[in-house]
């Protein structure tokens, strides 16, 4: 499943190719995605416009057009977005193809169909959309120790569940929550009201460090972005805890422990993470 670093690497790849390109034609598949394909709005707001920029909010890709409309892409579990040269055979799981004016095609494919495409009309207010109620970006300015301490005040939730709550911080999934807390040396089950400002600072620093490292690792994996979605799988940072139960901690050799929290597998070192 693509996590924030993968979506960010895809965004950077698309940003190198898409701005300035005009959408000459749009083709959609018949299969149902998590949300219905917005065929009418694709035609009304995206067809014939030029791509201005490719942004990201949490795990949503936001392709903004020169008329102010925005094509929102969510990759779900198995979604892929790639730019293909002319003549590339169509895949069975292609759900959307944009014909661009440089003869290339932007294609969205998704085998398991948990992803979706959405169109925001020009001048849309995000507050009525799936982009509302998202907390700050973990790599953005609003993600500070003070913000986290204030948000956690008086609450007894476990730290890992808090970090995975998209209303608190956008886009941190299960794998990276485990890795971030290992790097921070904090136990995933720790009650959030008990963390000091110094410990929250460790959460912020570790989030940035782990996510940036993963983005850098993906940047080298998907260096040849054109056609990348047709060839390579999603990359993954070399993980320290996730999926490593029983294996020695890279720091102290204590076996990594696995437990279930909020229905999700959670991995940590019981010695290093207090």
Q: Which residues bind Zn ion (CB under 5 A)?
A: 249, 251-252, 254, 269, 271-272
**Quick one: 48 or 255, whose CB is closer to Zn ion?**
255
Shortest reach from residue 256's CB to Zn ion, in Å: 8
Kindly name the residue from 3, 6, 8, 199 that is annotated as catalytic: 3
Q: Nearest CA to 242 among 197, 180, 151, 184?
A: 180
Backbone angles phi, psi at 159, to 5 degrees: -55, -45
Q: What is the DSSP letter of 22?
A: B
Compare residues 109 and 273 and give the one whose CB is closer to Zn ion: 273
Token duo for residue 151: 């948000």
- Is 264 an annotated catalytic residue? yes
Least Å from the CB of residue 42 to Zn ion: 50
| Parallel/antiparallel/unpaired status of strands 264-268 and 51-57 | unpaired
Name the active-site residue from 11, 56, 59, 97. Answer: 59
Q: Answer for the pair 144, 168: CB distance below 8 angstroms, yes or no.
A: no
Instruction: State the nearest-atom distance from the C-beta of 148 to Zn ion, in Å.
Output: 24
Q: CB-wise, 42 or 159, nearer to Zn ion?
A: 159
Task: Give the DSSP H/E element, type plus range, for residue 52.
Answer: strand 51-57
CA dihedral 120, 172, 111, 226 (to 10 degrees): 80
Catalytic residue, chosen from 208, 264, 270, 271, is 264
| Residue 50 or 271 having the CB closest to Zn ion | 271
Supply φ then ψ for residue 15, to 5 degrees.
-65, -30
Pick the closer one to Zn ion by CB: 216 or 251: 251
Asked about 259 being catalytic, the answer comes back as no
Q: Please report where in the chains the tokens 């995975």 appear, as a residue.
A: 164
Active site (annotated) includes residue 59: yes
Two tokens, residue 196: 């000091």
Distance between CA atoms of residues 189 and 266, nearest Å: 10
CA distance 214 to 87: 33
Minimum CB–partner distance for residue 173 and Zn ion (Å): 23
Smallest separation (angstroms) from Zn ion to the CB of 265? 18
Catalytic: 34? no
Residue in the shown chain whose Cβ atom is closest to Zn ion: 249
Catalytic residues: 2-3, 59, 264
């Amino acid at each position: 499943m693509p996590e924030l670093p993968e979506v960010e690497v895809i965004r950077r790849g698309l940003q190198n190719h898409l701005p300035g390109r005009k959408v000459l034609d749009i083709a959609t598949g018949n299969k149902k995605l998590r949300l219905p394909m917005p065929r009418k709005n694709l035609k009304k707001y995206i067809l014939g416009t030029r791509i201005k920029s490719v942004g990201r909010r949490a795990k949503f890709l936001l392709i903004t057009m020169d008329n102010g409309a925005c094509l929102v892409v969510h990759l779900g579990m198995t979604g892929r977005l790639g730019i293909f040269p002319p003549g590339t055979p169509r895949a069975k799981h292609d759900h959307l193809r944009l014909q661009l004016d440089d003869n290339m095609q932007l294609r969205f494919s998704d085998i398991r169909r948990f992803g979706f495409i959405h169109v925001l009309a020009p001048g849309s207010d995000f507050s009525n959309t799936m982009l509302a109620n998202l907390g700050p970006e973990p790599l953005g300015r609003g993600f500070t120790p003070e913000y986290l301490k204030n948000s956690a005040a008086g609450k007894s939730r476990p730290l890992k569940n808090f970090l995975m709550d998209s209303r608190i911080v956008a886009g941190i999934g299960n794998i990276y929550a485990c890795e971030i807390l290992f790097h921070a040396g904090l136990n995933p089950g720790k009650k959030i009201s008990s963390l000091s400002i110094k410990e929250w600072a460790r959460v912020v620093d570790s989030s940035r460090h782990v996510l940036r490292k993963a983005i850098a690792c993906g940047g080298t994996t998907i260096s040849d972005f054109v056609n990348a979605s047709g060839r390579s799988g999603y990359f993954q940072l070399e993980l320290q805890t996730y999926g490593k139960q029983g294996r020695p901690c890279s720091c102290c050799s204590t076996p990594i422990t696995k437990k279930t929290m909020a229905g999700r597998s959670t991995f940590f070192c019981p010695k290093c993470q207090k």
